[in-house]
Amino acid sequence: MKTDVTDFAENPESFFTDYLAAEQGVSKHTIRSYRDTFVLLIDYMDNDHNVSVNKLSMNDFSRDRIIGFLNWLENNRNNSISTRNQRYACIRSFFEHMQRKDPTRLATWQSIRSIKSKKTPGTVMNHLTVDAIKCLLDQIPTKTSNGRRNLTILSLLYESGSRVQELIDLTPSCLRLEKPAFIRLHGKGDKTRIVPLMNQQVEILKIYLEENYLNSLSQSERPLFFNRSGAKLTCSGVTYILNKYASMARVVHPELIPRKISPHILRHSKAMHLLQAGVNLVYIRDILGHVSVQSTEVYARADSKLKRESLEKASRDIIDKEIGKPSWEKDNELKCFLKNLA
């Protein structure tokens, strides 16, 4: 009979290999996100409850502990409600697996799965203006190889509308720089999409590939963007690069660059700029890799300027006579009332 000391280590392993990968067939992005949730959960149990990973057992988990973990994410790690809910989705999935694997504690597993997700506030679609994007990219020096690399990263992140994980997963083989030039992105749901590349972006990429010896067939499966040790660039690495130049741009034009910024804001910005340029929502959906155009409609709902312009275009003058301002001077009853106030 296995002891409680070892049962926790076995259960996440079966969850990832048997349930998520084999049975559910989830993408590598989902597995990566779920893995990060378990790392955080282990840290929480160690830091807040003094239960190290080598002593952690399934008996250490309860509804109150999981609620404490979710609150810890929000309050101690400053995670958004959306991120908190994403982490909880992983927890729920794990304990759904446990319901079948260990039904002896079914009530505990169900009580954990019955925790309500927090209601998220109304979606605010933060994005940068075209001038803000230009200001941001203008801060990147192009006289050094490191600066040229960073320009390639941030300009491609914006131009392609890609998620940051999609960007760092790129290899040179994902690029076609001959006309018609495009980039092949592998995104959510294990789906691949093609996004056209404009001439200026193609030239930036050509220079980058040549400088980093990535334009040969033997290098086609290497990471397109890598760090000093040659390893694939991470999401936090891209965030660091963005914040570095955002801080510089904020000094030049503080009104253009918000205090908090993340790589995803470049994706939102590209979508909004396409919408404002009159690009059909169906095409924007395909560029962003959304499953449904309903996901893309959030940009149209968020753009108040576009709403006003649409209303102005559709408006008609239905009242053709001039309406004068009412005058209380001509209202004898009102005049009498006002005089009597004294």
Q: Which comes out higher in pLDDT, residue 327 or 65?
A: 65
Residue 289 lies in a domain: no
Q: In this structure, which long-range contacts are made by residues 51-60, counting pairs with CB atoms below 8 Å and at least 24 apart in sequence? A: 54/5, 55/5, 56/8, 56/9, 57/4, 57/5, 57/6, 57/7, 57/8, 58/4, 58/7, 58/8, 58/11, 58/98, 58/102, 58/105, 59/4, 60/8
Same domain, yes or no: 252 and 165: yes
Q: Are 161 and 210 in contact (CB under 8 A)?
A: no
Residue 327 reports pLDDT greater than 70: no
What does pLDDT average to over the chain? 83
Mean pLDDT of 251-276: 89
Closest CA to 284 of 302, 262, 267: 267
Same domain, yes or no: 139 and 253: yes
Q: In sequence order, what DSSP letters do the residues of 204-227 get, joined into one string?
A: HHHHHHHHTT--SGGGTTS-SSB-
Residue 310 lies in a domain: no
Same domain, yes or no: 15 and 104: yes
Q: Which comes out higher in pLDDT, residue 238 or 341?
A: 238
pLDDT at 337: 62
CA angle 305, 307, 312 (to 5 degrees): 95
Of 210, 234, 263, the position where a domain reaches its end is 263
Share of the chain above pLDDT 90, in %: 51
Of 57, 86, 113, the position where a domain reaches its end is 113
Same domain, yes or no: 163 and 239: yes
* Band of residue 4 on the pLDDT scale cut at 50, 70, 90: very low
Same domain, yes or no: 104 and 158: no
Share of the chain above pLDDT 70, in %: 82
State pLDDT tens for residues 162-221: 999 999 999 999 999 999 999 999 887 778 888 999 999 999 999 999 999 998 889 999
Q: Residue 32 belongs to what domain range?
A: 4-113
Same domain, yes or no: 219 and 160: yes
Residue 120 reports pLDDT greater than 80: no
Q: Does the reported pTM lie above 0.85?
A: no
CATH number at residue 47: 1.10.150
Number of domains in the chain: 2
Whats the size of the chain, residue-wise? 342
Residue 311 reports pLDDT greater than 50: no
CATH number at residue 245: 1.10.443.10
Same domain, yes or no: 95 and 188: no
Q: In sequence order, what DSSP letters do the residues of 154-169 get, joined into one string?
A: HHHHHHHT--HHHHHT
